[in-house]
């Protein structure tokens, strides 16, 4: 490439469009600047240039004169922000070549030079986990800085961060003595004597979405997190603490305050800045990381889950096709069950051949076969014990492990729905998480059966006419299925509660997780998505619910909606708002339809939550019940 650039005398420019946009309070909005460069490079001038500017005036007209002018000013100033690169800059990377390991080669974009033989260690299809940590992307020049004097240790920032770069640490005096920081860098750890609280920030992997500062309640009106120029001194501290301290806390892991102290097993996913999906995967993995396997459908979650060689996961995670992920997860579950049945058989067969204490361990395992802590402990004990070879070979199956099936709405509502329905009806102890963005996000915004009336999307360019499919109702109609509808930004505690109940339920569980997405076009960008999620719940657009199939109780966790503010939803999200300029009459009509659907939906569930007898009583009989 360098050779070609030289030979063809190609000019190479860089620009700091971000800085220019910032100057005019258009943070992150660099699209028009880049388009303008393109036009200039193509030699467009005169009247065509004018047309482009006219178009901008038209496009931003209803956002007010200031926004229009700012967008025009950045164009005029843009050429000043170009810097030409001299050719010799390219030779500098030459000495940086590293040892030839495939991850590194791919990270350095030399993947296509690898030989088949380089992959010998991966012939079973598995790859190392947690490799995202080595992909220091440094994509944002503004990153959060912790102002400890304003921190109340609520840990909402760590909870909401889409890229898992923020981590709370609770450090003993002894640990502090050996660390890169001193007691002065910390504040007293709440609820504990003599421990220091420190908020670690991996700025290298920050995308600058700003969600952390938005959720920060701060103290006396001052935020404990502010966005400023990047400096990665905190990365080293954060990595050190992560690897070297115990990080114990008196707070339950099932609280927003406590969950972040767990060792992360899902870090630095390469999702969009402000992605609304990853918070759910972080919650799931921080609660149950070592006890689960994830089967992942094609979609955004498979891209940020494994863009080889980078994966944010340090736990077993397997990618499947779009159309069969539920069946795929069921297969993993079944294989796991079968292996554990064999473990049980071997234990019974050999119980009189083994030492007395090993026999007791067998009994403990059989009596607590689904308990993740006890079964893990049994594994540790049996690793050292004298047991039959075939049992030794199955030792990885001794810990209890649940399969979580994960995918987007394109998978769950549409292409993989047949399988999802099938899995929910098996009455197996299997879990499903739907990351619902109400649109095919990864493939460019096509309408799915989760998209609501009035939303503009691919295949619904003049607003969708069909209502959203009600997956909650479908789940609830299937015997012994736990169902939850959650929205992390609207209610973090309810999100944690739902994951806990779903994982503990002895049967299939379905979590429908509302996930804000760039495709929604939220005004001001995804940094406003927490506020937006609250609005969606307050207005009745979303209802936070949990359905327990054991006692057939439907709990509505959100307050009675205020439909008076429903219009704000449409005004604030471009997926809806866009229709107004195309067809104002239809916009009005579909807005009302969308709201009526929400009203009827609320009424329906509200009635169900009061009247436990409305549901049909059809149950699945467990094998235990008659054996």
Residue 447: helix, strand or coil by DSSP?
Answer: coil
Residue 622 is a binding residue for a copy of itself (CB under 8 A):
yes
Report CA Rg, the chain.
27
Q: Tell me how far, at minimum, the Cβ of 608 lies from a copy of itself, in Å.
A: 10
What gap in Å lies between CA 38 and CA 282, rounded to an integer? 39
**Selected range binding a copy of itself among 16-24, 389-397, 412-420, 501-509, rule: CB under 8 A:** 412-420
Q: What backbone phi and psi angles, to 5 degrees, belong to 292?
A: -130, 165
Q: 569-574: which pairs have CB atoms within 8 A and are 24 or more residues apart?
A: 569/535, 569/536, 569/539, 569/541, 570/454, 570/594, 572/522, 572/523, 572/532, 572/535, 573/520, 573/521, 573/522, 573/523, 573/532, 574/520, 574/521, 574/522, 574/523
Total residues at interface with a copy of itself (CB under 8 A): 44
The 361-400 site mask, x for binding a copy of itself (CB under 8 A), equals ----------------------------------------
Of 172, 473, 555, 578, the residue at the interface with a copy of itself (CB under 8 A) is: 473
Of 49, 255, 597, 609, the residue at the interface with a copy of itself (CB under 8 A) is: 597
Nearer to a copy of itself, 98 or 623 (CB): 623
Q: Tell me how far, at minimum, the Cβ of 587 lies from a copy of itself, in Å.
A: 10
Token duo for residue 305: 């889950």
Of 111, 316, 479, 521, the residue at the interface with a copy of itself (CB under 8 A) is: 479
Size of the chain in residues:
627
**Which DSSP category does 272 fall into?**
P
Nearer to a copy of itself, 211 or 476 (CB): 476
Nearer to a copy of itself, 107 or 510 (CB): 510
Instruction: Identify the CA nearest to 121 among candidates 142, 103, 99, 133.
Output: 103
Of 409, 414, 438, 573, the residue at the interface with a copy of itself (CB under 8 A) is: 414
Nearer to a copy of itself, 105 or 324 (CB): 324
Angle at 603 between CA 597 and CA 607, to 5 degrees: 145
For residue 555, the Cα-to-chain-centroid distance in whole angstroms is 25
**Which DSSP category does 480 fall into?**
T
Nearer to a copy of itself, 146 or 482 (CB): 482
Token duo for residue 99: 């040892």
Residue 469 is a binding residue for a copy of itself (CB under 8 A):
yes
Residue 219 is a binding residue for a copy of itself (CB under 8 A):
no
Q: Tell me how far, at minimum, the Cβ of 584 lies from a copy of itself, in Å.
A: 12
Nearer to a copy of itself, 461 or 600 (CB): 600
Q: Tell me how far, at minimum, the Cβ of 620 lies from a copy of itself, in Å.
A: 5
What is the β-pairing status of strands 545-548 and 553-556? antiparallel
For residue 29, the Cα-to-chain-centroid distance in whole angstroms is 23
Q: Tell me how far, at minimum, the Cβ of 477 lies from a copy of itself, in Å.
A: 6
Nearer to a copy of itself, 416 or 540 (CB): 416
Q: Tell me how far, at minimum, the Cβ of 78 lies from a copy of itself, in Å.
A: 42
Residue 563 is a binding residue for a copy of itself (CB under 8 A):
no
Q: Tell me how far, at minimum, the Cβ of 433 lies from a copy of itself, in Å.
A: 19
Of 467, 531, 574, 606, the residue at the interface with a copy of itself (CB under 8 A) is: 467
Residue 621 is a binding residue for a copy of itself (CB under 8 A):
yes
CB atoms near residue 258 (< 10 Å): 18
Residue 521 is a binding residue for a copy of itself (CB under 8 A):
no
What gap in Å lies between CA 430 and CA 424, rounded to an integer? 8
3-state SS of 23-77? HCCCCCCCHHHHHHHHHHHCCCCCHHHHHHHHHHHHHHHHHCHHHHHHHHHHHHH
Peptide bond into 406 cis (omega under 30): no
Residue 84: helix, strand or coil by DSSP?
Answer: strand
Under 8 Å between Cβ of 429 and 330: no
In the window 95-134, what residues touch a copy of itself (CB under 8 A)?
none
Q: Tell me how far, at minimum, the Cβ of 325 lies from a copy of itself, in Å.
A: 12
Strand partners, 84: 13
Residue 626 is a binding residue for a copy of itself (CB under 8 A):
yes
In the window 416-455, what residues touch a copy of itself (CB under 8 A)?
416-419, 421-422, 425-427, 449, 453
What gap in Å lies between CA 548 and CA 300, rounded to an integer? 30
The 600-619 site mask, x for binding a copy of itself (CB under 8 A), equals xx-xx---------x-xxxx
Which positions touch a copy of itself (CB under 8 A)?
414-419, 421-422, 425-427, 449, 453, 465-467, 469-470, 473-474, 477, 479, 585-586, 589-590, 593, 596-597, 600-601, 603-604, 614, 616-623, 625-626
């Amino acid at each position: 490439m360098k050779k070609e650039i030289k030979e063809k005398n190609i000019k190479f420019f860089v620009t700091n469009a971000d800085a220019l946009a910032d100057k005019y309070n258009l943070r992150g909005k660099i699209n028009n600047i880049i388009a303008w460069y393109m036009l200039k490079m193509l030699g467009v001038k005169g009247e065509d240039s004018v047309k482009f500017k006219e178009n901008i005036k038209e496009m931003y007209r209803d956002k007010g004169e200031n926004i229009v002018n700012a967008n025009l000013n950045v164009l005029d100033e843009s050429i000043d922000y170009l810097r030409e690169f001299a050719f010799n800059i390219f030779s500098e990377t030459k000495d940086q070549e590293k040892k030839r390991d495939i991850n590194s080669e791919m990270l350095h974009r030399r993947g296509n030079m690898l030989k088949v033989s380089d992959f010998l260690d991966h012939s079973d299809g598995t790859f190392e986990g947690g490799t995202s940590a080595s992909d220091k992307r440094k994509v944002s020049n503004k990153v959060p800085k912790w102002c400890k004097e304003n921190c109340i240790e609520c840990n909402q920032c760590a909870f909401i961060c889409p890229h898992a770069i923020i981590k709370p640490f609770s450090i003993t005096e002894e640990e502090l003595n050996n660390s890169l920081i001193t007691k002065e860098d910390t504040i007293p750890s709440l609820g504990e004597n003599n421990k220091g609280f420190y908020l670690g920030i991996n700025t290298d992997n920050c995308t600058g979405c700003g969600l952390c500062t938005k959720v920060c309640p701060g103290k006396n009106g001052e935020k404990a997190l502010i966005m400023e120029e990047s400096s990665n001194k905190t990365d080293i501290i954060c990595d050190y603490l992560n690897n070297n301290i115990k990080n114990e806390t008196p707070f339950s892991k099932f609280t927003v305050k406590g969950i972040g102290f767990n060792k992360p097993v899902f870090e630095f996913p390469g999702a969009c800045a402000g992605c609304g999906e990853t918070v759910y995967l972080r919650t799931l993995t921080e609660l149950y990381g070592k006890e689960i396997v994830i089967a992942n459908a094609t979609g955004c979650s498979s891209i940020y889950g494994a863009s080889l060689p980078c994966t944010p996961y340090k736990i077993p995670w397997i990618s499947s096709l779009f159309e069969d992920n539920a069946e795929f997860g069921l297969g993993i579950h079944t294989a796991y069950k079968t292996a554990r049945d064999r473990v049980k058989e071997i234990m019974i067969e050999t119980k009189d051949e083994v030492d007395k204490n090993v026999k007791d361990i067998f009994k403990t395992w059989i009596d607590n076969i689904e308990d993740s802590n006890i079964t893990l402990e049994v594994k540790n004990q049996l690793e050292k014990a004298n047991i039959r070879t075939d049992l030794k070979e199955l030792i990885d199956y001794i810990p209890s492990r649940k399969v979580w099936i994960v995918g987007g709405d394109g998978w769950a509502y549409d292409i993989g729905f047949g399988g999802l329905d099938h899995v929910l009806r098996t009455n197996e102890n299997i879990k499903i998480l739907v990351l619902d963005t109400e649109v095919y996000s990864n493939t460019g915004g096509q309408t799915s059966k989760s998209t609501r009336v009035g939303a503009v999307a691919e295949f619904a360019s003049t607003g969708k006419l069909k209502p959203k499919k009600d997956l909650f109702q479908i789940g609830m109609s299937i015997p012994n299925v736990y169902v939850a509808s959650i929205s992390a930004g609207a209610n973090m505690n309810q999100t944690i509660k739902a994951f806990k109940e779903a994982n503990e339920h002895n049967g299939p569980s379905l979590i429908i997780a509302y996930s804000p997405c760039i495709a929604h076009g939220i005004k001001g960008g995804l940094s406003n998505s927490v506020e937006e999620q609250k609005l969606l719940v307050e207005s009745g657009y979303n209802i936070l619910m949990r359905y327990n199939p054991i006692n057939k109780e439907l709990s509505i966790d959100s307050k009675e909606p205020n439909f008076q503010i429903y219009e704000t939803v449409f005004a604030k999200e471009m997926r809806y708002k866009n229709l107004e300029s195309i067809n104002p009459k239809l916009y009005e009509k579909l807005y009302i339809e969308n709201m009526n659907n929400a009203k009827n939906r609320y009424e329906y569930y509200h009635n169900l939550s009061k009247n436990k007898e409305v549901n049909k009583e059809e149950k699945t009989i467990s094998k235990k019940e008659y054996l």
